[in-house]
Amino acid sequence: MAVNLKWVSLFVLVFQNSFLALVLRYSKTLPDKYLSSTAVVCSECLKFLTSILFHVLQRVREITPPERYSYKMLLDELFGKESDCIKVMVPAVLYLIQNNLQYYSASKLDAATYQVTYQMKIITTAIFSVILLKRTLFKHQWISIFMLAIGIALVQFPTGDSGSKEVENAFFDKFLGLLSVFIACILSGAAGVYFEKILKKSKVTLWARNVQLSLFSIIPGYFIGVLLLDGETVREKGFFGGYTRWTVLAILLQAFGGILVAVVVKYADNILKGFATSISIILSCTISFFAFDFNITLIFIIGCIFVMYATYLYGKPVDKPENHEVSYSRLEEQPSLENIEVHNLDDLEANRGN
């Protein structure tokens, strides 16, 4: 049974890592153009509804008798004095900007380059972990970060994408795409580490935190992103203007993909997760080659190998002495996600779907 669960975990991780990038890219290449701001708000609404459902089910199961759990208790847990909901506004806004940048970068970069370059979040997360959490990284992790930087740099060499109409426009689009990915990775690392820091100092459940994160992303996402920045387009084409089945699929993958991964991630060790990332990169490159006329060069392949090995090396388990400061932290037990270890925020980020 455990072996079967590991294989299921591997499949889910590969599916989440690969097809989100591919679907985002394809949805952005279609003639019908949709607004990223509305897609992000829809995704956060789905996360909000799912998280609040799981939180209520969790609390009803904990409280005896279940009838004691009331709407007033729910509001107090989410927004009361001990909820520290104000602190969640910071990572919520960072995640909101990051999610919008993901859509933007997917419109500028091919899926393979986006998939590989987005692994830069490992570097930014490690840096913020050292700065904000005073976490100690092992020697092999520093080596993997260095290898990851080299691999990502190699991937950026021109690939001769035959789908580009003009070389100058293609170069400028790639520059904008890479810049947006770089900023998204910085925001992802900062938000993830700050979110972990909040969780460590709070008794609020992870699902409740996800409810707060989604709500505080929806409010500025709708009023600032949709109404203020894209208000004219929304009034002209409507909130769902340009939506296709691929847009809906991208929203569903972003909303539920991370939650699905969170359910199975406890059955997948770091080696398996690194293996899943490697398969995802290979799969993204292969599909991009056939579906998007992506030209895979030798330098690109070498860069992918560096990134894949660095990803595996970074998550490689080590034997830690009893008195040594542990570099991996464990969340306080959550009834819905018992004993899930947070390794460099990969598991924590999975619960957000970022």
**Per-residue 3-state assignment (H helix, E strand, C coil) for 223-238:** HHHHHHHCHHHHHHHC
H/E element holding 348? helix 346-352
Q: Are 302 and 114 in contact (CB under 8 A)?
A: no
150 neighbors 306 (Cβ within 8 angstroms): yes
Domain residue ranges of the chain, discontinuous segments joined by +: 2-352
Least confident range of 25-29, 150-154, 257-261: 257-261
pLDDT at 340: 36
The partner residues of 329 in beta bridges, in order of sequence, read: 342
**Cβ neighbours, 10 Å, residue 136:** 12
Q: What is the pLDDT of residue 164?
A: 44
Which DSSP letter does residue 166 get? -
Phi then psi dihedrals of residue 16, to 5 deg: -65, -45
| H or E element in which residue 329 lies | strand 329-330
In the three-class reduction of DSSP (H, G, I as helix; E, B as strand; rest coil), residue 295 is classed as coil
Q: What is the pLDDT of residue 1?
A: 53
Q: Tell me, what's the pLDDT at 172?
A: 83
- Rounded Cα distance between 279 and 286, Å, is 10
Write down the pLDDT at residue 45: 95
Name, of 103-107, 275-279, 328-332, the range with top average pLDDT.
Answer: 103-107
Q: Which residue has the tokens 């092999």?
A: 140
Burial class (CB in 10 A: 0-12, 13-18, 19+), 292: middle
Q: Is the pLDDT assigned to residue 76 strictly greater than 50? A: yes
Contact assessment for residue 111 and residue 22, using Cβ atoms and an 8 Å cutoff? yes
Percent above pLDDT 70 for the chain? 79
